[in-house]
């Protein structure tokens, strides 16, 4: 069942979340969500502009694109917006040197920085099993040495689905560090306003003519809505039935999956 009347509007651009919308991640790499490879193709062929907005921070954009291409998706690095490049932009603009609490796969994105120098900020990502008492203590102590502590969080997602199980995302660990040193993190990636606006600007579409399709009701759907886009919730990925009665976010629509969303969108455009 779809809900809402989101497809009644003149949509010119679509922002797609990746994990949980295009594919489900697993230890072996990932499995496409049925219909989504074809859905991306049809969307692009229709003339609707498409960008991919992910909070993936376990690998570089190039690695992510390579993986998705191997799975059969048509996309390229310049179409992908991810937090690590956004964090690097911020670091450069402010002249900051980072201490990184990240998954090793994303390190190449930060090669422009001297990681041996005394850090003036901390950048935290979805570090997964790199999150442990030792790395958290080490990062906490780096923050305490700064006055004031500068914490940059690549997304603030609560959890995601991986290999059939829900896994904690970066958000909870960012909240732990915020509490420990009494600071508020600067968020890059979704739901940061600049992140959505950057992707829209890149495809030359105004917020009111764009829609974000995601499985994260707060960071995808709610974040996009705050920027003036419509926000569409898929019932794949980390979706849970309780999202349909979320206390803070009411999506413009719910769809079974990306293929379903594209069906409705393209049917409407043909009329």
Based on the shown chain and the rule CB under 8 A, indicate whether residue 166 belongs to the binding site for its own copies.
Answer: yes
Based on the shown chain and the rule CB under 8 A, indicate whether residue 189 belongs to the binding site for its own copies.
Answer: no
Based on the shown chain and the rule CB under 8 A, indicate whether residue 113 belongs to the binding site for its own copies.
Answer: no
Based on the shown chain and the rule CB under 8 A, indicate whether residue 159 belongs to the binding site for its own copies.
Answer: yes
In 3-state terms, what secondary structure has residue 7?
Answer: helix
Nearer to its own copies among residue 8 and residue 134 (C-beta): 134
Q: Please state whether the peptide bond connecting residue 216 to the residue before it is cis, i.e. omega within 30 degrees of 0.
A: no
Nearest-angstrom CA–CA distance, 203 and 194: 14
Nearest-angstrom CA–CA distance, 90 and 84: 10
Based on the shown chain and the rule CB under 8 A, indicate whether residue 177 belongs to the binding site for its own copies.
Answer: yes
Could you tell me the CA-to-CA distances from 131 to 28, 40, 102, 137, 157 in Å, in that order? 21, 34, 9, 10, 15
Nearest-angstrom CA–CA distance, 20 and 160: 8
Using CB under 8 A, pick the residue from 42, 158, 235, 268 that binds its own copies: 158
Q: Which of the ranges 4-12, 157-165, 199-207, 227-235 carries the binding residues for its own copies, by CB under 8 A? A: 157-165
Using CB under 8 A, pick the residue from 114, 164, 165, 241 that binds its own copies: 165
Question: Residues 115-144: x/- map of binding to its own copies (CB under 8 A)?
Answer: -------------xxxxxxx-xx--xx--x
Smallest distance from its own copies to CB 177, Å = 7
Based on the shown chain and the rule CB under 8 A, indicate whether residue 164 belongs to the binding site for its own copies.
Answer: no
Smallest distance from its own copies to CB 222, Å = 13
Name every residue whose Cβ is closer than 8 Å to that of residue 160 and which is 6 or more positions away in sequence. 19, 20, 25, 126, 166, 167, 169, 216, 237, 238
Question: DSSP state, 29?
Answer: S
Using CB under 8 A, pick the residue from 2, 50, 146, 176 that binds its own copies: 176
Q: 211-270: which residues touch its own copies (CB under 8 A)? A: 247
Contact 249, 25 (CB under 8 A): no
Smallest distance from its own copies to CB 248, Å = 9
Assign residue 36 a region: left if phi > 0, alpha if psi is -120 to 50, beta otherwise? alpha
Q: Which residues bind its own copies (CB under 8 A)?
A: 128-134, 136-137, 140-141, 144, 158-159, 165-168, 171-173, 175-182, 247
């Amino acid at each position: 069942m779809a809900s809402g009347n989101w497809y009644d509007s003149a949509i010119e651009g679509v922002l797609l979340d990746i994990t949980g919308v295009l594919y489900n991640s697993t230890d072996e790499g990932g499995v496409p969500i049925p219909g989504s490879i074809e859905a991306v193709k049809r969307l692009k062929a229709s003339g609707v502009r498409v960008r991919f907005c992910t909070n993936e921070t376990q690998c570089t954009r190039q690695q992510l694109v390579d993986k998705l291409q191997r799975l059969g998706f048509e996309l390229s690095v310049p179409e992908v917006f991810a937090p690590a490049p956004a964090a690097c932009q911020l670091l450069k603009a402010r002249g900051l040197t980072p201490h990184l609490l990240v998954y090793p796969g994303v390190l190449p994105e930060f090669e422009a920085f001297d990681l041996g120098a005394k850090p003036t900020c901390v950048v935290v990502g979805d570090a997964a099993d790199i999150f442990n008492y030792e790395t958290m203590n080490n990062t906490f102590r780096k923050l305490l040495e700064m006055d004031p502590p500068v914490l940059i969080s690549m997304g603030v997602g609560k959890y995601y689905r991986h290999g059939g199980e829900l896994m904690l995302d970066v958000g909870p660990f960012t909240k732990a560090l915020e509490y420990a040193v009494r600071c508020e993190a600067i968020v890059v990636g979704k739901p940061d306003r600049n992140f959505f606006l950057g992707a829209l600007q890149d495809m030359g579409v105004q917020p009111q003519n764009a829609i974000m399709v995601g499985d994260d009701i707060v960071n995808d759907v709610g974040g996009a809505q705050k920027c003036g886009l419509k926000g569409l919730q898929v019932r794949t990925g980390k979706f849970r039935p309780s999202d349909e009665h979320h206390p803070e976010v009411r999506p413009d629509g719910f769809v079974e999956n990306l293929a379903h969303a594209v069906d409705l969108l393209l049917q409407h455009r043909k009329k």
